[in-house]
Amino acid sequence: MWWADIKAAIGQRINVEGLMFSVSVITKNRNWVMPHLSVKDIRYIDWAALKSKGYEGVVFDKDNTLTVPYSLSLWGPISESVESCKAVFGSNVAVFSNSAGLEEYDPDGRKARALEFVIGIRVIRHKVKKPAGSAEEIEKHFGCDSSKLIMVGDRPFTDIVYGNRNGFLTILTAPLSLSGEPFIVRQVRKIELALVNSWSKKGLKPANQRLLPDALDCVKELPPM
């Protein structure tokens, strides 16, 4: 168990699969890294509007999307949006994370069960670290094609690349907190966002989504504080 914890700590800092896919993205598949929608956090997502467009389920990353890094608890300000998402999509809400539920780093499912207990959302067990791997495990969990699912995460070269490769609607959020992230992760994040912003300014777009031609239809404004 202690060895799995050490491997997980190292693996979250150095994602070999992510580095390999980064080369492919930069040289051949730049549109993989472009999200269909970018928001500050999930409070800006209109879940009911997405459901009305035909989407059947939502897949969240964990760290810096739902929780601050390495925490089990939801980040307080987004709790209401999470409950709204669950009210709209019912049981068709899940977490797909490289820190909980990944067989290599969580072989006995201990981390996945702990997260499920705290946030009340199922964690999908999987064998391959994002952005590699197919959508097979997620499609089996939801019982529908990935084109009817939404991938929400904070890392362009991990969550968004995985989602776009596999046909999801992809939504990029800003990280909830940088203070708990390792130095190398913060530096890689800066490079990722710089590339995304540069390519976006040059007009690069993600692959079209049949159910949602204009993702801005599903963005809502927060009420004034």
Q: Model pTM? A: 0.89
Tokens representing 125? 């067990």
* 12 domain-assigned: no
- The rounded mean pLDDT for the chain is 89
* 193 domain-assigned: yes
Query: What pLDDT, on the 0 to 100 scale, is given for residue 77?
Result: 97
Nearest Cα residue to 153 out of 140, 142, 143, 138: 138
Q: Evaluate if residue 39 carries a pLDDT over 50.
A: yes
* 116 domain-assigned: yes
Average pLDDT score over residue span 17-26? 71
Q: Evaluate if residue 4 carries a pLDDT over 60.
A: no
Q: Evaluate if residue 134 carries a pLDDT over 60.
A: yes
* Percentage with pLDDT > 90 across the chain: 71
Structural domains counted in the chain = 1
Confidence of residue 2 (pLDDT cuts 50, 70, 90): very low
* 82 domain-assigned: yes
Least confident of 40-54, 98-112, 159-173: 98-112
Q: Evaluate if residue 41 carries a pLDDT over 70.
A: yes
The sheet with strand 57-60 has its strands ordered as: 37-39, 169-173, 149-153, 57-60, 93-95, 122-123
* 16 domain-assigned: no
2-13 and 183-201 helices, crossing angle to 10°: 40
Q: pLDDT tens digits, residue range 69-97?
A: 989 999 999 999 999 999 999 999 999 99
* 19 domain-assigned: no
77 is in which domain, residue-wise? 34-218
Only one residue has tokens 């209401």, namely 80
* 174 domain-assigned: yes
CATH of the domain at 127: 3.40.50.1000
Residues 6 or more apart whose Cβ sits within 8 Å of residue 46: 218, 219, 220
Average pLDDT score over residue span 110-126? 96
DSSP 3-state of 118: helix
Least confident of 10-24, 63-77, 144-158: 10-24
* 10 domain-assigned: no
Query: What pLDDT, on the 0 to 100 scale, is given for residue 15?
Result: 58
Confidence of residue 224 (pLDDT cuts 50, 70, 90): low
Tokens representing 96? 């797909």
